[in-house]
Chain A
Amino acid sequence: ETGVTQTPRHLVMGMTNKKSLKCEQHLGHNAMYWYKQSAKKPLELMFVYSLEERVENNSVPSRFSPECPNSSHLFLHLHTLQPEDSALYLCASSQDSGAGNTIYFGEGSWLTVV
């Protein structure tokens, strides 16, 4: 059992759909993250939340919209995605957002955009 739970595990959506990925952490951590993992590429950081405050990542397209209602929950809202956005989306958490903290990952949500 992982301390970071993601739902759904698999999602297929059309380019005009709106969907959301959900993440919950049971570790009492104060920082939460969204990472993207594409085939043959290293994991890429998308967003960071520290104590529910968002840290901007300007390189992420606006069709990805994060939401952190409290320190245990994190959402990634998806709209008008492109086929190249198909990837494994990983939620993670750490005690706080400072460098050197161990980051724990969830099982991931496999997204396919058709």
Chain B
Amino acid sequence: EDQVTQSPEALRLQEGESSSLNCSYTVSGLRGLFWYRQDPGKGPEFLFTLYSAGEEKEKERLKATLTKKESFLHITAPKPEDSATYLCAVPRSIYGGATNKLIFGTGTLLAVQP
């Protein structure tokens, strides 16, 4: 069964203290791995898509990497405004392969203290 597991559940960092979030997945035939950021009371905001092992993408203080079994979201010198829940998801084809269903993890709640 397709599954996405994120760790840790929660992470508290001091401003400037770099760290990484983990997303491990089991899915047959990976068609991409997605990272989203979700602020309290809002919908998920798209960050990155990674399609193949070894791929890396960066956006400001965030860098996402992908291996055959997991993805990491590295946060370099975080600021308080980076505080949010970070979600990862993988797509699974349903209904004969024509339809996209994202399987989400439960997220990592990141708190960056000044």
Decide: A42 near B105, CB < 8 A? Known: A50-B98, A101-B100, A105-B45.
yes
Closest residue of chain A to B89, judged by CB? A43
Which residues from B are CB-within-8-Å of A102?
A: 34, 46, 49
C-alpha gap A99/B31 in the complex (Å) = 6
Decide: A107 near B100, CB < 8 A? Known: A41-B106, A100-B31.
no
- Looking at A14-22, A72-80, A90-98, the stretch in contact with chain B turns out to be A90-98
Decide: A99 near B93, CB < 8 A? Known: A45-B101, A45-B102.
yes
Which residues from B are CB-within-8-Å of A110?
A: 41
C-alpha gap A9/B49 in the complex (Å) = 28
Which residues from A are CB-within-8-Å of B100?
A: 31, 48, 94, 97-101, 103
Residues of B at the A interface (CB closer than 8 Å) are 4, 31-32, 34, 36, 41-46, 49, 51, 87, 89, 91-95, 97-107
Residues of A at the B interface (CB closer than 8 Å) are 2, 4, 6, 31, 40-43, 45, 48, 50, 55-56, 90, 92, 94, 97-108, 110
> 7 closest A-B pairs (Cβ-Cβ)?
A105-B43, A100-B31, A42-B104, A99-B91, A99-B31, A43-B104, A99-B93
